[in-house]
Amino acid sequence: MKAFAGIAAAVALAASVMTSPVYANDSAVGSTPPEIEAVRWYNTMPLTFEQLQGRAVLVEVFRTWCGACKNQIPSLNSKAEKGRKEGLVIIGVTDEPAEVVDQFVATYQPTYPIVITKDNSFERHLGVKSFPTAAVIDTKGDISWLGHFGFEGAVKNAQKGADRSPLWPEPFAKAEKKLNDHDMAGAYAEVSKTIEKKPLDDEEAAFGARAKTWLESEASTAFTRAKALVAAGSVYMAMTKLEPYVDGDAPFPEHQEMVTFLEEQRSRDGFKDEMKAGGMLVEANDLARNKRTVKDAIEMFEEIVRTYAGTAVADVALNRLDELEKYR
């Protein structure tokens, strides 16, 4: 009986350790985090914690090389999709070079906002020691929870009474929906149409101008990045990066140049093989996110390496095989 009680106590202790937050910096809980100085945002216009006050915010500090961070992405994508209607905003934070994060975003496809920070003031405030480190920010704008995993309860508490309205002003609701669907050309067309045809107050008009400028900047950045990807041999990544910007009723300023660039890629020798290999890579990455199908993913990565040796996609597949070595 005593032995059983001892085992039960040990199990209870282990459970409490697993479900309690492991603080990076205990004193940060209850504090107001500093604003993020950004080099670049992905999947969103620039955000501030002041702007998000009234909503629940889950911030995950990650690194592109971190296996646990990669494994979190499908779950965070799902939470972000559901959370849009429940007052939750999820933000991923890193300080790595843009070219590294570009590749990470293209490969692992987080759909929630990602930001590259200019300095480490936010991470220093949290006292980040390992990755991922998560922080929950409540509707008052204060950190209510800090740890690594097990933030669900804290997020749920933070969402009580949270502002559930869209982030973009109501006249731009259709544009925001297009953006959330990663239809960049569609978002730009909706913003342009709203500015031209709908009566807007001064604040809404100012937002529309910022949104249009931001979308144009995103299109230009995507075009520059696509050209760099092609130069590096990654045609598939270039096509998937640029295509969301070319099919819209109100074309971007660089529309014709982008269309010509895409047509040039489609006429290249080996284009079909490159695109087929890229599609297989996306499917293999999806399989790799589930432990039950990871072996299927490994087989597909191996097939890509065998069949498309010498391509940039095969190089990526080889790197993924190294990451999944423990499952082989």
Span 43-56, pLDDT tens digits: 999 999 999 999 99
- Six token digits for residue 132: 């991922």
- pLDDT bucket at 13, cuts 50 / 70 / 90: very low
Specify the pTM.
0.80
- At 16 the pLDDT is 35
Asked if the model's pLDDT at residue 113 lies above 50, the reply is yes
220-266, pLDDT tens digit by residue? 999 999 998 888 778 888 998 899 999 877 899 999 999 999 999 99
**What number of other Cβ atoms are within 10 A of residue 109's Cβ?**
16
- Alpha carbon distances (Å) from 196 to 45, 191, 217, 284: 21, 9, 20, 44
- The 3 state secondary structure assigned to 101-140 is HHHHHHHHCCCCCEEEECCCHHHHHHCCCCCCEEEEECCC
E-only strand ranges, the chain: 38-42, 56-61, 88-94, 114-117, 133-137, 143-147
CA atoms within 13 A on the CB side of 103: 18
How far apart are the C-alpha atoms of 184 and 190, rounded to whole Å? 10
The answer, yes or no, to whether the previous bond of 132 is cis (omega within 30 of 0) is yes
- Flag the least confident range among 5-19, 127-141, 152-166, 202-216: 5-19
Q: How far apart are CA 122 and CA 26, in angstroms?
A: 15
pLDDT at 103: 81
DSSP state of 48: -
**Helix (H/G/I), strand (E/B), else coil: 248:** coil
Residue 24's pLDDT band, with cuts at 50, 70 and 90, is low
